[in-house]
Amino acid sequence: MKTITPEHLRYLPTTRAEMDERGWDRCDVILISGDAYIDSPFIGVAVVGRILEREGYRVGIIGQPDINTDDVMRLGEPKLFWGVSGGSVDSMVSNYTATKKFRNSDDYTPGGVNNARPDRATLVYTNLIRKHFKNTVPIVLGGIEASLRRVTHYDYWTNKLRKPILFDSKADYLIYGMGEGAIIALPKALERGESPNDIRGVCYIAKEPREEYLKLPSHQECLDNKERYIDLFDTFYNNNDPISAKGLCQEVDGRYAIQNPPADYLDESEMDAVSSLPFTRELHPYHRPKGSVKCLETIKFSIMTHQGCWGECNFCAIGVHQGRTIRTRSEESILKEATQFTEYKDFKGIISDVGGPTANMYGYECNKKLKHGTCDHQRCVDDTHLCKSMKVDHTRVINLLRRLREVRGVKKAFVASGVRYDLINEDKRQGYEYLKEMVRHHISGQMKVAPEHTSEHVLHLMNKPGKQTLVDFKKLYDKLNREEGKKQFLTYYLIAAHPGCTEKDMHDLKRFTSEELKMNPEQAQVFTPTPGTYSAVMYYTEMDPATRKKIFVEKDTARKEKQKQIVVAKESFKSGFAS
C-alpha cells in the first residue's frame, strides 16, 4: 500500500509542530521572507530552501512574520545561519506606487491585502532577529532587495544616497544575484568553522580594504560629487559577470564594503537539477486560513525556461541581479515539468507562461561572451543596433514550443513573458517562423510588447530600439493574424516621466499611438527609479551617464502623473497637443 505523506510535511517546516514531526530539535538554517511561504520554483526563498534541503540541511521558513510579536522566534534559533529576504519584489516597490501612494494589494500576501510586508523588510527582519536572539549565528541577506543595494545606491523614497545595505542592516553577509552556488558554499564553510569571506557571490564588511580588488569611489565621495556616483555605478555595472568581473571594495565611514567576484552561473544540467526539486507549487497550509495568494494564478502552471537577459534596458535591474548571460534548461527538463502539471487535479491543460525575463532569448548566446564574459565597452544590443557577435536564432525555442504542444494533457502553452520584437525582426532566418508559431498557438488574445516610448532621445536614454522597429514588427504581426484568420491584438507597455522625457514627448507618443498604432493606450506606468539601474542614476544626477551632459528630469509628482494622463487620455489626440 502506498504511504501518503500528510500535506504539510511535503513542505519545508514553518511551525515547531512540523519540526517535531520530523524529529528535529533545531533547524540548520531558517529563512525569513517578505512573502508568504509559496513553495514554487518562481519564489527565490523556496528555491534556496529546496537547494539547501537537497544538500542535507534542515531548513525552516518563516514567511511574513508578525513584526509586532515574537513570531520570528517560532522555529527557535538555527544552528548555522539566518537567511533574510525582502521577498520576490522589493518591499518599497511592492508597498508604493511611482507617485509614492501606498498600494492596497499584495499578490504574495494571503487574502491579497497589503498588510504583512513592512517597508524595508530586509532591515526590519534583521533587527527583529537581533532583538530576540542576542549574539546569534550569522545573518545572511539575499533576494532582490538586498542584491540591488549592495553598494552606495540612490533611494527614491528618501531622495538620497544610502549606504550599502549591510551597513544599515547590521547583517553579517550578503549573497547577491541568483545565489545558487554561494548558498551551497556558505553553510559548508560555517560547518567547518571557516570564514565565508572568500566565497564568490558574497559581500561583507571589513576593517581593511582588499588591495587586489577594484576600488569604488567612497560613500562620502558619492555624496559630495554626483559624477563620482556615476563612476561608482559604471564600475559596479561592469563587474557582474563571473568570467570577467573583478572583486569590488568601497570605503564607507572608515570601514569597507567588500564584494567578491560573482558566483559561477549554473550550467544546463545544474539548471535542470534545480528545476526538478520537489516543489509543491502551492501556498503552505499555515497561511491558507487568511486566503489565497494571487500570484499563484500566474506562476503555478508556468515554466521558467532560462535565466538572464542581455537586453540591458536602462530602467531594468535584471542584468545586475540575474546577469547578462542566458542560462537555459534542457528541452527534456522543460517537457518533464509540463508533463508533471497533468498530475495536478486543478490543471486544466493551460500552461500560463513558457519563458523567462525575455521569452525569445532561450537557446542561444554570444560565443565570445560565453568564453570571455560580458564586454565592458559595448552592449549586446543598444537603441540603434545589435552587436554582430550576437547571432539571434529562434530555432531552439520554436522546436521547444512545438514539442510542448505535443505533451499529452496540454491544451495550450501560452507565452506571457516579454518578447523582444526587435530580435524577431533581426532573425532573418527564423524570426518570421517564430512569430507565426506564436500567432497560431501561443498568444491568449493579445501579445504584450514593450516599446516604452517613441521619442528617439528618450529611447536612447532607455536603451530601447527606435520606433520604426516597432512599426515594422506591427506590420508583420498584423499580416500573420490576417493570414491565420485571427483577431489578436498587441498591447504596449509605455513609461511616462523617464529621465529625458517632457510633456511634449508624451504628446508625441500619444500622436504616434493614435496615427501609427491605431489605438488609444489604456495604461502607462510612471517611471520608478529603482536601485541597480542606470535610469535611477540619471534620475538622481540629472545627467546622461555616458556623456555626463545635463538632461531634463521630471521630479514633480503632479507633473509626472500629468505625463501619464496625456498618453492614456480618452479625448481626441488632436486636441490640446503641444506643437
Kindly state whether residues 335 and 428 are assigned to the same domain: yes
Report the C-alpha dihedral over residues 382, 386, 390, 396, rounded to 10 degrees.
Answer: 100
Kindly state whether residues 394 and 487 are assigned to the same domain: no
Kindly state whether residues 197 and 55 are assigned to the same domain: yes
Residues in Cβ contact with 33 at an 8 Å cutoff, skipping those fewer than 6 apart:
45, 61, 62, 63, 64, 85, 86, 87, 143
Residues in Cβ contact with 451 at an 8 Å cutoff, skipping those fewer than 6 apart:
464, 465, 467, 470, 492, 493, 494
* DSSP state at residue 216: P
Kindly state whether residues 166 and 92 are assigned to the same domain: yes
Kindly state whether residues 407 and 307 are assigned to the same domain: yes
Of 207, 224, 255, the residue at which a domain comes to its end is 207
CATH (domain of 200): 3.40.50.2300
The binding site consists of 309, 313, 316
| Torsion 537-541-543-545 (CA) sign | negative
Kindly state whether residues 64 and 176 are assigned to the same domain: yes
The binding site for [4Fe-4S] cluster consists of 309, 313, 316
Number of independent structural domains in the chain: 3
CATH (domain of 373): 3.30.750.210
Range of the domain at 434: 301-444
CATH (domain of 520): 3.30.750.200
Kindly state whether residues 419 and 521 are assigned to the same domain: no
In a domain, 196, yes or no: yes
Report the C-alpha dihedral over residues 496, 501, 504, 509, rounded to 10 degrees.
Answer: -50
In a domain, 259, yes or no: no
CA distances from 392 to 310, 324, 364, 367, 474 (A): 12, 15, 7, 12, 19
Kindly state whether residues 432 and 515 are assigned to the same domain: no
Kindly state whether residues 325 and 438 are assigned to the same domain: yes
pTM, full prediction: 0.94
Q: Where are the beta strands (DSSP E) in 465-541?
A: 489-496, 525-526
CB 531 within 8 A of CB 155: yes
> What is d(CA 324, CA 379) in angstroms, rounded to the nearest whole number?
10
- Give φ, ψ of 63 to 5 degrees: -95, 130
Does residue 405 sit in helix, strand or coil? helix
Strands 327-328 and 306-307 turn out to be: antiparallel
In a domain, 496, yes or no: yes
Kindly state whether residues 430 and 480 are assigned to the same domain: no
Kindly state whether residues 416 and 318 are assigned to the same domain: yes
> What is d(CA 49, CA 55) in angstroms, rounded to the nearest whole number?
10
Kindly state whether residues 23 and 88 are assigned to the same domain: yes
In a domain, 1, yes or no: no
In a domain, 261, yes or no: no
**pLDDT of res. 405:** 96
* DSSP state at residue 263: P
In a domain, 224, yes or no: no
SS (H, E, C) 23-73: CCCCCCEEEEECCCCECCCCCHHHHHHHHHHHCCCCEEEEECCCCCCCHHH
Q: Tens-digit pLDDT profile for the chain (579 aa)?
A: 334 467 888 999 999 999 999 999 999 999 999 999 999 999 999 999 999 999 999 999 999 999 999 999 999 999 999 999 999 999 999 999 999 999 999 999 999 999 999 999 999 999 999 999 999 999 999 999 999 999 999 999 999 999 999 999 989 999 999 999 999 999 999 999 999 999 999 999 999 999 999 999 999 999 999 999 999 999 999 999 999 999 999 999 999 999 999 999 999 999 999 999 999 999 999 999 999 999 999 999 999 999 999 999 999 999 999 999 999 999 999 999 999 999 999 999 999 999 999 999 999 999 999 999 999 878 999 888 899 999 999 999 999 999 999 999 999 999 999 999 999 999 999 999 999 999 999 998 999 899 999 999 999 999 999 999 999 999 999 999 999 999 999 999 999 999 999 999 999 999 999 999 989 898 899 999 999 999 999 999 999 999 999 999 999 999 999 999 999 998 554 433 332
In a domain, 464, yes or no: no
CB 176 within 8 A of CB 259: yes
CB count in 10 Å sphere of residue 251: 16
CB count in 10 Å sphere of residue 437: 21
In a domain, 551, yes or no: yes
CB 468 within 8 A of CB 427: no
Of 160, 181, 207, the residue at which a domain comes to its end is 207
By C-alpha distance, which of 232, 274, 278, 275 is closest to 257?
232
By C-alpha distance, which of 172, 150, 146 is closest to 250?
150
